[in-house]
Structure 1
Amino acid sequence: MSTVQQPRPIEAKVKAATVGGAGSAAVITPAVLWVIDEVWFNGAAAPDVPLPLVGLVGLVVTGVCAFAAGFWAKHTARPDLGRS
């Protein structure tokens, strides 16, 4: 008879980094792109931020926010792993 292992819970740092990355992609990145458009690309016209810059800003903002959220999240104790 085989035994089924219980799945381990997802750690808090992983959850926080996921939410931070997704939230920044949905909210913070468009806000940063709007500021860039207003400051450097004459915001009165249609958004003129070049597509490669949009991708780079999205990559940097999402990465920084995911890292920061995971860094500041509370550590999950894992006594089940033991010390090796």
Structure 2
Amino acid sequence: MSLTDPVPNPPRPIEAKVKAATAGGAGAAAVITPAALWLIDALWFNGAAAPDVPLPLVGLVGLVATGACAFAAGWWAKHTARPDLGRS
């Protein structure tokens, strides 16, 4: 293969729904999960002391918040048209 040969499979752009779901999941992990854990600690686990939220609950809250936000962001993002795929 020489340098003048065309690239057999040129890279395709990342779809908008994938970008939105990634941003939604990262935002949930960075902002929503800590805020939800702070609220849970303040309401049910004596918020004046050191955080006493059990570790399995921390994991569950993180899983649900990240998954829900990633799904919602991907759902509401605009669809990317892919005319290059064609039908076979």
**TM-score bracket, shorter-length normalisation:** over 0.9
The CA distance in 1 between the partners of 2:38 and 2:86, in whole Å, is: 49
Query: CA offsets, 1:23-54, max 9 Å, x none?
Result: 11001100000000011111011100001100
Which has the larger helix fraction? Answer: 1
Aligned-residue offset at 1:13: 0.1
Q: Does 1:47 align with 2:57?
A: no
Q: Does 1:3 align with 2:36?
A: no
Where structure 2 has 5 or more consecutive residues not aligned to the other structure, the ranges are none
Q: Does 1:38 align with 2:42?
A: yes
The CA distance in 2 between the partners of 1:82 and 1:6, in whole Å, is: 16
Q: TM-score, normalised to structure 2's length?
A: 0.90
Percent identity reads: 85
Aligned residue number for residue 64 of structure 2: 60
Amino acid at match of 2:25: G
Q: TM-score, normalised to structure 1's length?
A: 0.94
Aligned residues: 84
The CA distance in 2 between the partners of 1:7 and 1:56, in whole Å, is: 37
